[in-house]
Amino acid sequence: MTLAFDIYGTLINTSGVFDSIQKLIGEKAEGFNQLWRTKQLEYSFRRAAMNNYVDFSVCTKQALEYACLFYKVDLEEHQKTALMEEYKVLPAFDDVKKNLERLRSEGHQLYAFSNGSKEAIKGLLINAGLVDHFDGMISVEEKQVFKPSPTVYQYVLEVTSSVKESTYLISSNPFDVLGAKAFGLQSIWVQRSKESILDPWEYQPNRIISTLSDLTFTK
């Protein structure tokens, strides 16, 4: 099998910056952090629809600025810069490394696939000690459009020399899982939180799991 893993929120914990936010703004931190992530994705969707690609870090920075405006938090520029820098070294979830090792040992092809730039992907994976567990890294920057555009899922097939029937997109992000499925890939939703809801669309993932330990394939 060819397994394309989403990075942000699936392998890498985007809440890893929460402690720093809490130190800066206190009780508003949880809502602030959630809004930052929500707006980051919304901005990528908008830019895809507008055919106005920018590096994903621009979406991240502008989403941070929005969260500050929404919560009326007056962060200094050096504080915003520090949060953006921390975003480059977010930690992996606890179940990631051992299960990537297991899946690789079982003979599957593993690829990191992200809205982030290839440089950002590589930096995150190196910091988390995961970079050597992948056969390659796939960034949407090569196609200048964000997920869930079908263009980027087609690009996965081109890079991996795979076919739809044996190529799985593994992601914690419902839009990504359903986008891949709509294109014709196989997909698996990693429900990282019990509060997460899968959109009730006509497209649904092949499987739903709560941890990568449940990611198994019959031979």
DSSP annotation of 8: B
- Which residue among 6, 74, 132, 214 is the active-site one? 6
Q: Is 94 a catalytic residue?
A: no
Report residue 156 as tokens.
């996965």
Angle of helix 150-160 relative to helix 174-183, nearest 10 degrees, comes to 70
Rg (CA), the chain: 17
Provide the token pair at 23.
Answer: 């130190």
Task: Give the CB-side neighbour count of residue 175, counting CA atoms within 13 A.
Answer: 12
CB of 12 within 8 A of CB of 176? no
DSSP designation for 171? E
Catalytic residues: 6
